[in-house]
Amino acid sequence: MAMRVLVVEDEPQMAGFLARGLSDEGYVVDIANDGEQALSLTTGVEYNLVVLDLQLPRKDGLTVCRELRDQSFRAPILVVTALGGDCDVVTGLNAGADDYLAKPFDFAVLLARMRALLRRSRHLRSDMLQVSDLLLNTVDHTVTRSGRVLNLTTKEYAVLELLMLFKGQILGRAQIAEHVWDEGFDPLSNIVDVYMNRLRKKIDHGFDRQLIHTRRSEGYMLSEDAPDSPYV
Ligand code: CA
């Protein structure tokens, strides 16, 4: 699974634009056309992030936001609205939104905000990340496997942390690069593959159970389960 985003937007043109743009960036995108549909979709599917328009039919965005948080929905919510004014920002944040973007917005800005939220969302979770016998402490940045301390560089740690946050999900090379190298990354560079090879040596070398899995055309995944045959 790639990172999954729910876009709640009632204007078909805007919804289509966001769906295409985010799909091109490697996200799996679902669209909800109104507030009720947004709430029903989130009960059945696990989303990594929600982009939420405030002016919606059937149930407005603020109510959707409050109800999601009341249901202990933990993924980041990015509110997008045509309404201006500080009041909306405060109301949105009080309702449980994590960030706010006013329409019209630049798509690149939306992407940057989404990436920041996805990075930050780890703080809502536990300090310790675990996949099988691999343990990562997000506070002091120590990593152990079967109790043995692994010495990782800062970048190796950042790549591993991302893979552990999204364990069991395929992360594309561009997604990994965007999270770890930020701006100025050359998309044609093989730096992600280089780092994944180094990580594999440090994490999987000498262990029977391989945790890092490659899907050639799509990217990498960290999982304790042996994946289906397209993986190597
Ligand atoms: Ca709307």
Is 95 a residue whose pLDDT tops 90? no
CA of 120 to the centre of ligand 1 (A): 27
Please report the pLDDT score of residue 92 as a whole number: 73
Provide the pLDDT confidence category of residue 1 given band limits of 50, 70 and 90.
Answer: very low
Q: What's at 177, amino acid-wise?
A: A
CA of 40 to the centre of ligand 1 (A): 18
Q: Is the pTM of this model over 0.95?
A: no
CA of 53 to the centre of ligand 1 (A): 6
Nearest in space to 156 (alpha carbons), one of 119, 123, 203, 118: 203
- Cα-only R_g, the chain: 19
CA of 52 to the centre of ligand 1 (A): 9
Domain annotation for the chain: domains and CATH numbers: 4-123 (3.40.50.2300), 128-222 (1.10.10.10)
Q: What mean pLDDT value characterizes the chain?
A: 86
CA of 38 to the centre of ligand 1 (A): 13
CA of 44 to the centre of ligand 1 (A): 23
pLDDT in tens, 54-79: 889 999 999 999 999 999 888 999 99
Q: Which of 35-49, 107-121, 169-183 is predicted most confidently?
A: 35-49
